[in-house]
Amino acid sequence: MAIISASLADTINNLSPGHQVAQIGTRLKEALEGDVPNSSIELDEISNELILARSIVSAKTTSREENIAGLSSAITLANALKVTLNTHAADATEHTTAADATNFPLTSADASNLVTLITLTGEMLTDYEAHNDDAVLGSSWAFHEAQQAGNGVASAVAPVTLQECVTKLNDLKAKYNTHEGSATSHLVGGAQTEAASDTAYGNSILVLASGVSSGDSVLWGILNNGTGSVTGTSVSSASGELTFVFSADPQNDCVINYVVFRGAGV
């Protein structure tokens, strides 16, 4: 795989899927030699062999919806919170009036992808908010010992995107830990603190790319390095997808070009 600068933008923009890159081999070879002299791609092969362009994308803007670590860390935190919330709600010792069997246990499946993450996060927001509402009452608590102030989530509206899941899960963890730590509304407090790390974005994105196969070669360049002022580090291909690695989180405003190709006989 090779990382290239924007000087290949014109070459990439002039390609189309199925284009015989050998026809522009000299131009591509010169650009590569200028941009990536240590590239692992055999330049003579690009110049002399028939190569077919499989996927060409011009001016793609990165999105945190594609952030690999963002999704994986959100799944980890969501599943940890599910266990912790269920344990907390069922604790009849800490909840001196009664355990909360009204809002809990959570019934959504463990998160394993974005769809299940959204479902689980939405249920946790709704059920935690109802549980915390009991704690802020001035009297007549169904579960809690006495009144505590605040600790409602910033928004209990169910998320619809990965970015919303990331924001809401971190907020839920913070508000729950403060709620749970209260020795006013609980017997002692601090019995079921959530210790899992906050969700966080990483430096890699996963881009779906129809027709791409494992082992395909990829040329890519950054046209605009975005708010994070990122640089490109590497790229890898798998069936139907590409993983782009940057020097830091590319956020939502890095712009890249890329072309995927393989030998015509492959």
Residue 21 has pLDDT above 80, yes or no: no
Residue 114 has pLDDT above 90, yes or no: yes
Give me the helix-helix angle, 114-135 and 68-89, nearest 10°: 40
| Distance (Å, whole) CA 252 – CA 224 | 11
Q: Please, which pLDDT band fits residue 10 given cuts at 50, 70 and 90?
A: low
Give the per-residue pLDDT at 246.
97
Query: pLDDT, tens digit, for every residue of 191-229?
Result: 999 999 999 999 999 999 888 889 888 888 899 999 999
125-132: average pLDDT: 98
Where along the chain do its domains lie? 2-65+201-263, 70-180
Which single residue is written with the structure tokens 């670590």? 69
Q: Please, which pLDDT band fits residue 14 given cuts at 50, 70 and 90?
A: low
Q: CB–CB of 247/233 below 8 Å?
A: yes
Residue 89 has pLDDT above 70, yes or no: yes
Closest CA to 172 of 103, 87, 93, 74: 74
Q: Any residues with CB less than 8 A from the CB of 121 and at least 6 apart, and which?
A: 74, 78, 111, 158, 159, 165, 168, 169, 172
Give the per-residue pLDDT at 19.
43
Mean pLDDT (the chain, rounded): 85
pTM here is: 0.83
Residue 52 has pLDDT above 80, yes or no: no
Which of 77-86, 154-163, 256-265 is the least confident region? 256-265
Give the per-residue pLDDT at 58.
65
Residue 113 CB coordination number (10 Å): 9
Joined together, the tokens standing for residue 107 give: 């019934």
Which amino acid, one-letter code, is at 98? A
Residue 51 has pLDDT above 90, yes or no: no
Which single residue is written with the structure tokens 């409602």? 152
